[in-house]
Amino acid sequence: MVRAGWGVLLAAVLIAGCGDQPTEDGAGRQPEPSPPPVEHNLEPLADAVTRALREQGSARVSGDATDVGGQAGVQGTARFDTAQTDLDVALERRASQDSGPERTRLVIVEGKGYLRPPPAVTPANRPWVRLDPASGDEFQQYAAQVAHALRVTVDPRRALELAVAGGHVAGSERQTLDNTGVVHYTIDIDLARALERRAENQVLQRVVDSGARALRLELWLDNRNLPLRVKSDEGLPALNRFVADVRFDRWAAAANITPPNSQEIANPA
């Protein structure tokens, strides 16, 4: 139901009496920036990425995801210059050739989450559900897994928090991505271990209680430590296996993310 990774860079920087003007290679192209240094310690890596995200403020997210319902497109906006990342992201899939698209939307503002599932799941006049991970309600358990799966994919800040708490760098490699020098990191995260250090995270608690144990995260970081691409791969009981691959662009564009109208929430606080 939810809608909601690259070759070795060879670059030469030529300084030939042009002052501060960038030089060109033999083909007349501007040389691409070198990738950042490889960092195997997750804490400074997470700090560097968080600083870079805060400086940019926001980004557009787009890509695709696959779960028990099949493939879905991912589109949305993330705002990073707030205390917690604000998100407005949707997954859209076509259930069949004869039906219209099925859309699931997640909005997180100031740490509070809201999910809008496809029609018929909630009343037409109150299509949104406020996330309540402490609830034992079956839908809330499902919603917590959806929100977690989406957030670790489109919110690198949250994903790296979990990595610092319960993960390790399984691999790193200098590559090129869209003609840009990057470092491709593969990080394996033990969710139960992460929960030991993030016990206040009720969504993570609900996800671990459901039986989820491992998350593989891949990030492609440019020389500014910005994530240009993120992949996630995670086993979640409600979604079977959730695999997502997204790109970030339109950095620093205006981003106005607001919660749904309280009159449209099926379970207002």
What pLDDT is attached to residue 37? Answer: 77
Q: What tokens does 249 get?
A: 């662009």
Residue 188 has pLDDT above 70, yes or no: yes
According to CATH, what is the number of the domain 42-264? Answer: 2.50.20
**Alpha-carbon distance 264 to 260, whole Å?**
7
Q: Which tens digits make up the pLDDT trace of 109-163? A: 999 999 999 988 899 999 999 999 888 889 999 999 999 999 999 999 999 999 9
Determine if the pTM surpasses 0.95.
no
Output DSSP code: residue 38.
P
* Mean pLDDT score of the chain: 86
What pLDDT is attached to residue 30? Answer: 54
Q: Which tens digits make up the pLDDT trace of 5-29? A: 333 322 332 233 334 333 344 445 5
What are the sequence ranges of the domains in the chain? 42-264
DSSP structure string for 74-133: EEEEEE-SSSS-EEEEEEEEESSTTS-EEEEEEEEETTEEEEEPSTTSS-TT--BEE--T
Mean pLDDT within 219-244: 96
Residue 239 has pLDDT above 60, yes or no: yes
- Do 6 and 220 form a contact (C-beta atoms < 8 A)? yes
Q: Which tens digits make up the pLDDT trace of 52-97? A: 999 999 999 999 999 998 999 999 999 999 889 999 999 998 766 6
